[in-house]
Amino acid sequence: MTQARLYESLLAQHRAENRQMAFLVGARQVGKTSLCRPLGVYLDWDNLDDRALILKGPDAVAERIGLERLGESLPVVSFDELHKHSRWKSFLKGFFDTYEKQARILVTGSSQLDVWRKGGDSLMGRYFLYRIHPFSVGEILHPQVSEELLAPPTPISDTDWDALWRHGGFPEPFVRRQDRFTNRWRGLRRQQLLREDVRELARIHELSHLEMLAKLLADRSGGQLVLSNLAQDIQVSVDTVKRWVELLVSLHYGLLVRPWFFSVAKSLRKEPKWFLRDWSEVPDDGPRFESLVACHLLKAVETWTDQGLGNFELRYLRDKEKREVDFLVVRDEKPWFLVEAKVSDTVLSPSLRHFQDQIQAPHAFQVVRDLEFVQADPFLRERPTVVPARTLLSMLP
């Protein structure tokens, strides 16, 4: 079984419209290499022959690609794991400045690339960023890039929905759909991320404590992140826990959703909520569904932003009276729509109406996992509305 990816058309559009390099960042094993390898010349820093070629400099790479020969279209060269090169930014700057009119350049790697690209601005104006996410309902149904923010509501098959729920959206377990394989794949990915990737980014000697923190965070997906409680549980300082959580977020192990407090009376301003990126690891249905919705919404806001369709953020709402709404999507610094995630509860949460009135968001949805798909556009509603999860999520990228 093969599954088309949204990012194939997104990268094709990028190559057709832009001279800039495309930087692809995302979690380990999210499919970045599979996207780049078929497009042209693929050079992997971890391959010793390719590394030797890159170390010879931009002219040697250009000769290998054949940039001196006229062709019907511009060749594509992909550099994978190039951030492991101590002078990778200087290499890319020299290659791009010399050959930008003769080739299209893709740069990808494991999630550390997103960390190291932020150090300095020597590549400013020379690349566009694309954040790669696991499969979502919308990507399965609409794998072509669109200039519209929302797709029409489209039913997803029961088998695809069940596969997303049980195996997550990472390409290999989603496509294989075998419980034994998924269990082994999860364990291997977690081990590689917590040991190999962490070793490259930070000097952490207490790896057993970090692994314990990762386990606690997996069990607490969907909850508020209280650093002092975590520090007490694993017997390290609060500053250490804060630093480790930031590291796990940078490695795309999990994500943080921060509170929105503008125009919200007595709002909480500090405590973020934590969600695991692989929602299939979350044991309980309620937190798992909330994590699934969080990952879908984050993918939507980052994809829309990367396409240049606006500036989008994912937040949540909570006040000191403990009223809460799970998610708020912000569009160009203005609230757009609220989302409350429920497994089966169809009684509207009063917090939706309370916060919608306060922040004047145009839409408010209670998204319910167990409701059957409905062929209707919830964005035509202005008051809080109960919406099947399959309906809303099918409209997102």
Q: Please state the rounded mean pLDDT for residues 30-50.
A: 94
Higher pLDDT, 316 or 203: 316
CA torsion 60-63-65-71 (nearest 10°) is: 150
Query: What pLDDT is attached to residue 269?
Result: 64
Tell me the pLDDT tens digit for each residue of 204-253: 767 788 889 999 999 999 999 989 999 999 989 999 999 889 989 988 99
Q: Please state the rounded mean pLDDT for residues 26-52.
A: 93
103's CB contacts (< 8 A; 6+ apart) are 62, 65, 67, 74, 75, 76, 77
Higher pLDDT, 134 or 271: 134
pLDDT of 81 > 80? The answer is yes
Q: Please state the rounded mean pLDDT for residues 371-377.
A: 98
Residue 41's φ and ψ, nearest 5 degrees, are -80, 130
C-alpha span between 110 and 282 (Å, rounded): 23
Among residues 273, 291, 271, which one has the least CA distance to residue 281?
291
Higher pLDDT, 199 or 116: 199
Q: Please state the rounded mean pLDDT for residues 31-45.
A: 93
Angle subtended at Cα 118 by Cα 249 and Cα 255, rounded to the nearest 5 degrees: 15
Query: Among 33-37, 149-153, 319-323, which range has the highest average pLDDT?
Result: 149-153
Positions of E strands within 28-138: 41-44, 76-80, 104-108, 127-132
CA torsion 37-310-295-242 (nearest 10°) is: 100
CB 109 within 8 A of CB 80: yes
CB 223 within 8 A of CB 290: no
Residue in the block written with tokens 């960042």:
25
What is the DSSP code string of 138-173? HHHH--S--SSSSPPP-PPPHHHHHHHHHH-SSHHH
CA torsion 381-384-385-388 (nearest 10°) is: 110
Q: Please state the rounded mean pLDDT for residues 78-91.
A: 91
Tell me the pLDDT tens digit for each residue of 102-128: 999 999 976 556 655 555 557 888 999
Query: What pLDDT is attached to residue 266?
Result: 60
Tell me the pLDDT tens digit for each residue of 254-266: 999 999 987 666 6
Query: What pLDDT is attached to residue 255?
Result: 96
Tell me the pLDDT tens digit for each residue of 164-196: 999 999 999 999 999 999 999 999 998 888 877
CB 155 within 8 A of CB 373: yes
Q: Please state the rounded mean pLDDT for residues 352-357.
A: 96
C-alpha span between 397 and 394 (Å, rounded): 8
Please give the single-letter amino acid code of residue 92. Answer: L
Query: Among 95-99, 122-126, 318-322, which range has the highest average pLDDT?
Result: 95-99
Which homologous superfamily does the CATH classification assign to the domain defined by 6-132?
A: P-loop containing nucleotide triphosphate hydrolases (3.40.50.300)
52 band by pLDDT with thresholds 50, 70 and 90: very high
Query: What pLDDT is attached to residue 288?
Result: 98
* Structural domain spans, the chain: 6-132, 137-394
Positions of E strands within 201-310: 254-259, 273-276
Query: What pLDDT is attached to residue 113?
Result: 66
